[in-house]
Amino acid sequence: MAVWQEVAAYMASELAKQRNVDKIDLMTLNKVMYFAQRESYVRTDRPLFEENIFHAAQYGPVIIKLKGCLKRDDLTEMPCDDWLQEHESVLRYVINHYGKMSAHTLSSLSHSEISWRNAQDRAGKKGPYQRISDADIRLDAMKIRIREEKLRRKVV
């Protein structure tokens, strides 16, 4: 299993190529990382990375340590080839689907997520940056699987 920093390094590199920029902005990378984790649950019912690292911020899910990693240029180690091959469909989907969206569009999308809303509700009682639970991310994934299944039934 890859660690989140390796996934972030890969996503940052691929998104920068797609957008033809040197570096990807922090807000975009945070949101794309969240959507990658959620999409992995949608497609495989497993996380891309085991660490429970997402917190609810004003503009959506964030990895608090990601800002420091970007500032220090610490995102250099990529996932191994076997891991990338195993997760290619999830990563490609996220890059192609979400990679073209602006940071603010991604933020707005993340605000519809159960996981972010539940953590924001806790933040009102306990303070900002409450951890987003993996169980809630799984709920968001299940919601998407149910919607996709309904759409498939309509098509058939």
Helix (H, G, I), strand (E, B) or coil at 61: strand
Q: What is the pLDDT of residues 26-57, one digit of tens each?
A: 999 999 999 999 999 999 999 999 889 999 99
pLDDT in the model for residue 156? 61
pLDDT in the model for residue 128? 78
Its pTM surpasses 0.85: yes
**How many alpha carbons fall within 13 Å on the CB side of residue 140?**
25
Q: How confident is the model at residue 151 (pLDDT cuts 50, 70, 90)?
A: confident
**Residue pointed to by tokens 């539940």:** 118
Q: Which of 9, 38, 46 is nearest to 113 (CA)?
A: 38
Could you list the residue range(s) of the whole structural domain that residue 35 is in? 4-155
Both tokens of 57, joined, read 């911020």
pLDDT in the model for residue 1? 63
For the chain, how many structural domains are there in total?
1
Per the model's pLDDT, the better-predicted residue between 127 and 93 turns out to be 93
Q: What is the pLDDT of residues 69-122, one digit of tens each?
A: 999 998 999 999 999 999 999 999 999 999 999 999 999 999 999 999 999 988
pLDDT in the model for residue 107? 96
pLDDT in the model for residue 16? 96
Q: Is the pLDDT of residue 153 over 90?
A: no
C-beta separation of 133 from 127 below 8 A: no
* DSSP letter assigned to residue 73: T
* DSSP letter assigned to residue 131: B
**How many alpha carbons fall within 13 Å on the CB side of residue 83?**
14
